[in-house]
Amino acid sequence: MSKFDDSLFLERKSYRKRRLMDLISMLPFFGTFLFFIPLIWVANAELGPRISVAMIYLFSVWIFLSFCQILLINYLKKSDRYEVQKLNELKGD
């Protein structure tokens, strides 16, 4: 692989990491939005949505957000590890 290709590859990785950080920092706002969806439901002891539906919705949002976080944190770890490895390679040159 030529030197040029190598540096292009690195740029791409660090670009991806930036976007990953964007995603991680946006997740709580996204979560707030989803958790505040019930604000547009009709709140009424007889006419409101059935409570089992509400529960299923809220818990699904919860699980969804947690799993997103697991995935994002894993990617973050991977890209951190990649950076450390790259740094070590540079040192070893």
Partner 1 sequence: MFNVLIAVSLFYVFILFVVAFGAEKLTNSGRARWLRSPLVYTLSLSIYCTAWTFYGAVGYAARSGLEYLTIYIGPSLIMLGWWWILRKMIRVGRSQGVTSIADLLSSRFGKSNSVAVLVTIMAVVGTTPYIALQLQSVTLSLSVFASYDSQTSVFLDNSRAAFWLAIGLALFTILFGTRSLNANERHHGVVMAIALEAVVKLLALIAVGIFVVWGISGGISNVINEIDSSTIGHWDVDNSRWVALTFLSAAAFICLPRMFQVLVVENEDEDHLRTASWAFPIYLLLISLFVVPIAVVGLNIMPENSNPDFFVLSIPLAMGRDNLAIFSFLGGFSSATSMVIVASLAVATMVSNHIVMPLFLRWSSGKASGFGDVRFVVLTSRRISIGVILLLGYLYFELSGGGAALAAIGLVSFTGVAQILPSLLGGLFWRGATRSGAIAGLISGFSVWIYVSFLPSLGDGIVFSSSFIKEGPFGLDWLRPQALFGIEGLDPLVHAIFWSISLNSFFFFFVSILSFPRPIERLQGAQIVNVFQYEPSPQAWTAQKAQAEDLMVMCQRIMGVQQAKNLFNEEVIRQGSSSDLPEPIPDFLNRLEKELAGTVGTATAHAMISQIVGGSSISVQDLMAVADETVQIREYSQRLEQQSEQISRTARQLRIANEQLTKLSVQKDVFLSQVSHELRTPMTSILAFSEILKDEKKLSDQALKKYSDIIHAESHRLTRLLDDLLDLSVLENGQVSLNIQSVNLKSMIDKAISTVQAGNKDDKLIVKTEFSTRKRKIETDVDRLGQVFLNLVTNASKYCDAKKPTLKILIGFDKENYTVDFIDNGSGISKTDQQQIFEKFSRFGSQKSGSAGLGLAICREILKRLKGYIYYLPDKQGAAFRVVVPSRIYSE
As measured in angstroms, the least distance from the Cβ of 8 to partner 1 is: 20
Residue 64 binding partner 1, by CB under 8 A? no
20 binds partner 1 per the rule CB under 8 A: no
What is the C-alpha R_g of the chain? 21
Q: By CB under 8 A, tell whether 8 contacts partner 1.
A: no
Distance CA 6, CA 23 (A): 26
**CB–CB of 30/64 below 8 Å?**
no
Would you say 69 or 83 has its CB closer to partner 1? 69
CB distance 60 to 67 below 8 Å: no
* Separation of alpha carbons 6 and 26, rounded Å: 31
Contact footprint for partner 1 (CB under 8 A): 21, 24-25, 27-29, 31-32, 35-36, 38-39, 41-52, 54-55, 58-59, 62-63, 65-67, 69-70, 73, 76-77, 93
